[in-house]
Structure formats: structure tokens, C-alpha cells
Structure 1
Amino acid sequence: MAGSPTVSQSAGLRAWLLSSEPGSRWQARLGRAYLGWRSFSRNPLAVLGLGIVILLIFVALFADFIAPYSPIVGGDLRTQRLLPPSETYWLGTDDQARDILSRIIYGSRITLFVIVLVSIIATPIGLLVGTLSGYLGGWVDTVLMRITDIFLAFPRLVLALAFVAALGPGIENAVIAIAITSWPPYARIARAETLMIRNSDFIAAVKLQGASTPRIIFGHVVPLCLSSVIVRVTLDMAGIILTAAGLGFLGLGAQPPSPEWGAMVATGRNYLIDQWWVAAMPGIAIFVVSLGFNLLGDGLRDVLDPKAAK
């Protein structure tokens, strides 16, 4: 029968991945990843969120080839300014006769840049503070958690505004400000996870083997806290996007003529009545990408959270 070898190979690979007695750590990890993907793929909204995130990454990477026009240089201000969506300009043009679609496409790079840098900066800080606080306890826990409480006492956007006002406007300073305000929730989650596992039997066994405190924290505690923090980071992506857009809207994020979505909405607010597309199109982009990360985070929570109902 045609195709039967392929079916047989697929069944054999599936049996190898689902083996109850894996022959190596690599096989066990692949098996867990396969089970996680099967659980994830049964959630259509999570798959939709993953598709939106993949589309964002694809558009950001290949913006030079996808965008039909320059995001910076506009057309003739006399004839191409504030044009409605058409076959020539799919999403219309703005007040400087620039193609809105091209600006949204290139703006995805700024959005992805903010998301990646904030995650790289904030996640390790939150993990380190939370695991140290939960494992060491005592005065270390008191000091670190009081610092965390101070950051949590202020709304994220207000605190980010304060830091950007001190550092000065610009996308780099906006990233630093958002990262500084993003780590406290991750620290709280990591601390809660650490408190549950620090007195477990396997930690006691590692101590009996002579493992040092740094080795226990970074080799055993941090990996166990990582899945919960990853879920929270993914769910926070929407908040990061909205904070960055808010700073751009207020003129404290990416500076003109950068095609940042929040700044585009700020420009379009002057034309909401007659030329609604100038503000609506970047606003829709912010909404769709934020929704995608929320859906993806919900799906990852169902897969990675051991306490979630399967």
C-alpha cells in the first residue's frame, strides 16, 4: 500500500515518544514536549494565539520584503495625504502621506524589540529575587519582598512614566522603564513556588549529598519555578505592549518618525472624525497582537501549570 511506510514510521515515532520507560533523558524530554503539544493543540484559541505571535515574528523579520512603501518617506502631500483605504494604499495614508500598512509592518519590529528586551531583562531579575527570597527566608525575604511591594504599590504605567521622565524619552529608555516595572509579579510567583518546594524530600536529598546553596537554587529551584514564570511572562506580554504603546502615545517612547503603534494612534487622534483609519488601524494592530499573546498565555498555562485541570 502506498504511504504505509510513512504511517508505520509515524506510529513508531509516536510510540517512542510515549514510551513509559524512556531510554535517555533526551527521549523523556521529547516525550513530555510531545504530550504538551498534544494538550496545547487541542485548544483552538491557544493555537490561534500562537499563529498571531508567529505572524508578528514573521512580519517583523521580513518587513523589508513585505512592506509596499517606505515607513518614513511619504508621498505628495497635495494629493496623497489622508487618503482612505484603497487598492493602492490598503490601510490608507496618514497626515504625512505615508502608507499606514507599511508603518504598521515596520512598527511590528519595535513591538517585538520591546517584548524581547523586557522579557530578557525582567524575567531573570524576578526569578532571582523570588527564589532567593523564598529559599533563604529571614531578613533576606523581608527586605526583598518589601522592595517588591513598593514596586507593586504603583500602577505599572504610572511608574514607567516616572522612570521615563527621569531617563528621558526614547525607545531604549522606555524598555528600561518597562523592565524595571515588570519584574515584581515574577518575583512573587517564584517565591511562592520556592516556598512549596524548599522543604521537599528531593531538596533534602540534594543537601545530604553536599550541594551548596547556590547550586540548589540555580540547579534545582529555578528550573522548577521557570514554567510558572514563563506562563506569567507570556500573559504579561499584552500589558507590556499596551505600556509601550501608552508611552509612545504620550510622546515618551519611540520618537518620530519611527513607526511605533502608540505614536501612530496619538497622531491619528486629531483625525478621528473624518479620517478614522489613521488611528484605528494601528489601534487594531495593538489589539490583535495583545489578544494573541493573551490566548497563547492561556494555552501555555493549561499545559505548563501542573495544578491546572487537564
Structure 2
Amino acid sequence: MTTSDAAPLSRREWLLSERPASRMQARLGRAYVTWRRFSANRLAMVGLFIIIALLVVAALADVLATHSPYIGDLKNARLLPPSADYWFGTDDLGRDIYSRIVHGSRLTLFVVVLVAIIAAPVGLAVGTVSGYAGGWIDAVLMRITDIFLAFPKLVLALAFVAALGPGIENAVLAIAITSWPPYARIARAETLTVRNSDFIKAVELMGASPFRIVLRHIMPLCLSSLIVRVTLDMAGIILTAAGLGFLGLGAQPPLPEWGAMIASGRRFILDQWWVAGAPGVAILIVSLGFNLLGDGLRDALDPRSGDQ
């Protein structure tokens, strides 16, 4: 039977072909296999659902909120329990807690996205340069990394925020400064495993510069491990931002930041538990979602795991 007489491949067979006809087919095949591994993990799908729900809530906050997140009825609606009018109750200024949590999701995404955008590339660059260059460059960069790792993240973030001043932007910058060292360590370890491999030697013999080798050939190999670590760190970033907000060094009033909301509600924790309890549950759910998503990505992107 000739090739023209052969039955056409199904979409699944085309994606799983052991001999892809193009780079695009190979990339789509890898993405499909990764998605199969990820979707087989039910807890990972729960985490993905939570994060998608967070994105939807943040995008539609103005529509989903039932009241103003900044203005409350101090005279008639102070510290009301959850009801049909105020789903999560009200705070000490008569503001609807549900609406503040909905709008606070935007601040949470703002923090985690900016920290990831700032910290991950810095850690990736430091780790790959350190691992590929070796020698005194490796020693200097890793000792700087060790200095940052020697301090607890929250304590170091507190020091930077105290120096920069309170505010959500300074809190993001402080968390990013304290978050890059683990990414540098991961990138360096990945680089050391491929630095002396045959394909890197072949690229060197072709005359590629060290900059091109690091940027085009080594960094892409580190991305999967870095993505997993960043996703798993999202929960820690949220907790650090909430801790700074709780201490009054993060988002400033009247911004509906979840940590600041807990701080304002701690005075009423015994009698009006919903004031601090509702934002605390929001932090718990979102942090759990990022952890479940990170665990699923770690299993799906592990090159040593077989196809399921």
C-alpha cells in the first residue's frame, strides 16, 4: 500500500507521532503530553480551577462586587454579621467585606505577577551565568546568593520595606528582592548538568558566543523547573505580602488588601469573627490553589516521568 493510500492520522496520533515532521508538530506534541499528565491529576485540576476563578473574579471585580469596597455605612452597617445584604458581613467602618475581598483579588494578582516578573528573570540570569562561567564569577554570584538566603524572607522584606517606605509598590519590590535566590540556585544546578553536554560543545565549536549559548540554549532548558518553583512560591509570596500588610508596611488604607483586612479585624476576632476570618479564608484558598497547581506542574513537566 502506498503512502497516499494510507489512512490519515487522527489528531491524537499526529500529536503523539514519534517522528514529527516539523518543530511545530514536536512542540504541540510535547504540550499535549504535558497536558495529559497534568489533567490526570485531579488535585492539580482543582488548583487550576481556583486560579482561573481568581483571575475571573479579579477581571470582573466591578461587576461582582455588590457594594463599594472603600465607602461604608458607618452609622447603620457597622460590624454586621453575614446576611443577604452583606454576604460576608461588614467591618468596623461599615464596609462590605465581600466587596473588599473581591477587589482585593486584584491586589493579590498584582503582587504575585510583578514579583514573578521581577524575581524569576533575575534568578534565571544569575544562575545560568554562574553555572556556565564557573570560576570566580560563580564564586562571587553564589556568595551573594548565600547572603540573601541567610536571612528569613519576611525579615529581609521587612528591612527593605522599612528602608523604602510603606506602600504596595515598595512591598512588591522588597518581596522580589528577597525571592530571586532560590531561582538562581535552581538555574545554576540545571546549567551544571548541561554545561558539558555534547550539544553545548557542538554549539561552542560552531563559534557561538557565551551570551548566545546561555540565552538561546541553556536558559530554555531551565524554564520548566523555574516555572514549577515560581508557581509553588506564589503561596509564600501571598503570605509575605499579607504579612507586610498586616504589619502596616504593605498596601495602605483604604486599599482592600487581605493582610491589612485581617489586621484591622484582629480586634474583633472573638465577637465579630467574620471581619478577619473572611480574608483569612481567601488567603487560604488562593494559597492552596497555587500549591496544588505547582504540584501538578512539577509532575507534568518532570522529564523523567513516563507518558500516562
**How much has 1:63 moved relative to structure 2?**
0.4
Q: Which residue of 1 aligns with 2:138?
A: 141
CA distance in 2, matches of 1:303, 1:143: 34
What does the per-residue CA deviation read over 1:18-66, in whole Å, with 9 as the maximum and x for residues that have no partner? 1222111111111111111111001000000011011111111110111
Pairs within 5 Å for 1:17-96 = 17-75=15-73, 77-96=74-93
Aligned amino acid, residue 40 of structure 1: F
- Counterpart-to-counterpart distance in 1, 2:213 and 2:270: 60
SS of the residue 2:10 aligns to: helix
Residue aligning to 1:164: 161
Which of 210, 215, 220 in structure 2 is aligned with 1:218? 215
- Name which of 184, 187, 190 aligns with 2:187: 190
Q: Is the 8 A contact 1:301 1:308 kept in 2?
A: no
> What is the match of residue 273 of structure 1?
270
Match of 2:172 in 1: 175
Are 2:241 and 1:244 aligned?
Answer: yes
Which of the numbers 7, 12, 15 marks the counterpart of 1:14?
Answer: 12
| Cα deviation, residue 308, structure 1 | 5.2
CA distance in 1, matches of 2:196, 2:157: 37
- 1:263 partner SS: helix
The residue identity in structure 1 corresponding to 2:296 is G
**Residue aligning to 1:5:** none
Question: Which residue type is aligned with residue 130 of structure 1?
Answer: G
Root-mean-square deviation (CA, aligned residues, Å) is: 1.3
1:103-114 superposed matches below 5 A: 103-114=100-111
Give the Cα separation in 2 of the matches to 1:307 and 1:26.
Answer: 23
Query: Do the aligned partners of 1:265 and 1:282 also contact (CA within 8 Å) in 2?
Result: yes
Q: What is the CA-CA distance between 1:211 and the residue it aligns to?
A: 0.9
Secondary structure at 1:273 match in 2: coil
- Percent pairwise identity: 72
The one-letter amino acid paired with 1:109 is: R
Aligned to 1:282: 279
> Which residue of the other structure, out of 196, 201, 204, is the alignment partner of 1:199?
196
Partner of 2:92: helix, strand, or coil?
Answer: coil
Select between 151-160 and 201-210 the one with higher mean Cα deviation. Answer: 201-210
Is 2:94 aligned against 1:97? yes
Q: Following TM superposition, where does structure 1 have runs of at least 4 consecutive aligned residues deviating by more than 3 angstroms?
A: 307-310
**Residue of structure 2 aligned with 1:298, choices 283, 292, 295:** 295
Equivalences, count: 301
Q: Structure 2: which 5+ residue stretches go unaligned?
A: 1-6
Task: State the alpha-carbon separation in 1 of the partners of residues 188 and 18 from structure 2.
Answer: 33
Residues 264, 278 of structure 1: 8 Å contact kept = yes
**Aligned residue in 2 for 1:261:** 258
Tell me how far apart the structure 2 counterparts of residues 216 and 86 of structure 1 sit (CA, whole Å).
61
Structure 1: runs of 5+ lacking an equivalent: 1-7
Q: 2 CA distance for matches of 1:92 and 1:192?
A: 49
Would you say the 8 A contact 1:302–1:309 is kept in 2?
no
* Deviation readout 1:180-206 (Å, 9 max, x if unpaired): 000000000000000000000110111
Offset at residue 78 of structure 1 (A) = 2.5
Q: Which residue of 2 aligns with 1:128?
A: 125
